Amino acid sequence: MNVYENKTFYQKDVGDFFSHGKFSDCEIIHCHFVETDFRSTRFLGCSFKHCQLQMVKMDQCHFQESIFEEVKIIGGEFYKCSKTLFSIQCKNSILLSCNFSHLSMKKTDFSGSKLQECFFNETSLSSSNFQKTDLTGTKFHHSDLSKSDFRGAKNYAIDPKVNNLKKARFHLPEALSFLYFFGIDISD
């Protein structure tokens, strides 16, 4: 296993370079990962900036305190990642068809991102930040969204009957429209 600490990888021709390695406090900038093998790779305190991850193999990949900023992730199967100490932040990013099921993602920051056609099933997202996030086609099912912030978010349809929304924050017009959509009478 190759081990890298405090390194910067810029426009790296990735190939299998990142496969089965351990990366601590590294910056990964302007790299493109297409069907790259991240299986059993460990990213501890790493930041991905202006990268693209497309159909990356994530089985038992470790993301701990990792930041994705202005990245595009297509088909991210995060549910296959190691659940031990899993923690990521995704700021101002585009996530298409990503699956975050069965993960503990408390206090995750998705602010300013586009999460389109993503799936959160039995995901713990309490105190997460979805401010100014586009959630077109994203599904939340049996997920804990308590104390999460959806102010300024758009295109969401979160069923309050099957998700925990206790103390979640919404802007009023959007909150009323999704309550109406799910047939919840608030006129009393």
Helix (H, G, I), strand (E, B) or coil at 78: helix
Ordered by where they begin, the domains of the chain are 3-181 (2.160.20.80)
The pLDDT profile of the chain, 188 residues, written as one tens digit per residue, is 789 999 999 886 565 677 889 999 999 999 999 999 999 999 999 999 999 999 999 999 999 999 999 999 999 999 999 999 999 999 999 999 999 999 999 999 999 999 999 999 999 999 999 999 999 999 999 999 999 999 999 999 899 899 999 999 998 766 655 554 445 444 44
pTM above 0.85, yes or no: yes
Q: What is the DSSP letter of 101?
A: T
Let me know: does 157 contact 176? Beta carbons within 8 Å: no
* Rounded-to-integer distance, Cα 174 and Cα 156, Å: 9
* Rounded-to-integer distance, Cα 18 and Cα 37, Å: 7
Strand 62-64 relative to strand 42-44: parallel, antiparallel, unpaired? parallel
